[in-house]
Structure 1
Amino acid sequence: MLEELQRLQAHIGVLKSRLTHYETENNALTEASATVAEQHHAQVVHKNGIITKKQEEIENLTEQLTEVQSQFKQLNTDATALADRYSRLEKSCTDLKNRFQDILSERNELRVIKEKMQNEQRHAQQEIQSLQQERDRLLQKNELARTKVETIIQRLSILGTEQDQHAQEIQQLAHPTEVNEEMQS
Structure 2
Amino acid sequence: MLEQLQRLQTHISTLKTRLNEVESNNQSLLQAQASSEEQHHAQIVHKNSIITQKQDEVETLTEQLTQLQSQYKTLNTDATALAERYSRLEKSCTDLKNRFQEILSERNELRVVKEKMLAEQRHAKQEITDLNAEKTRLIQKNDHAKAKVEAIIQRLAILGTEQDHHAQEIQQLAHPTDSNEEV
Shared fold (TM-score, shorter chain, > 0.5): yes
d(CA) in 2 for partners of 1:33, 1:62: 41
* Matching residue of 2:144: 144
Aligned-pair distance for 1:102?
Answer: 2.0
* Matching residue of 1:117: 117
Establish whether residue 127 from structure 1 lines up as the match of residue 100 from structure 2. Answer: no
> How many residue pairs end up in the alignment?
165
Aligned-pair distance for 1:35?
Answer: 1.1
d(CA) in 1 for partners of 2:164, 2:88: 97
Identity across the alignment (%): 71
Q: Deviations over 1:4-53 (max 9, x none)?
A: 54334333322322222122111111110011111111111121122112
Q: Deviations over 1:132-158 (max 9, x none)?
A: 110111122223234434545565676
d(CA) in 2 for partners of 1:163, 1:99: 89
Q: Which amino acid aligns with 1:92?
A: S
Query: What is the aligned-residue RMSD (CA, Å)?
Result: 2.6
d(CA) in 1 for partners of 2:19, 2:42: 33
Aligned-pair distance for 1:127?
Answer: 0.6
* Matching residue of 2:58: 58
Q: Deviations over 1:147-184 (max 9, x none)?
A: 4345455656766843799xxxxxxxxxxxxxxxxxxx
d(CA) in 2 for partners of 1:164, 1:31: 184
**Higher RCO structure (Cα 8 Å, ≥6 apart):** 1
Alignment TM-score, normalising by the size of structure 1: 0.75
* Matching residue of 2:69: 69
Provide the secondary structure at the position in 2 that maps to 1:43. Answer: helix
Q: Which amino acid aligns with 2:142?
A: N
Q: Deviations over 1:60-99 (max 9, x none)?
A: 2211221221122112211221221122112212221221
* Matching residue of 2:91: 91
d(CA) in 1 for partners of 2:64, 2:112: 69
* Matching residue of 1:162: 162
Could you say which structure has the larger radius of gyration? Answer: 2
d(CA) in 1 for partners of 2:57, 2:163: 142
Q: Which amino acid aligns with 2:120?
A: E
Q: 1:163 to 1:99 in 2, by over 3 A?
A: farther
Establish whether residue 13 from structure 1 lines up as the match of residue 13 from structure 2. Answer: yes
Q: 1:8 to 1:163 in 2, by over 3 A?
A: farther
d(CA) in 2 for partners of 1:160, 1:76: 117
Which runs of 5 or more residues in structure 2 are unaligned?
A: 166-183
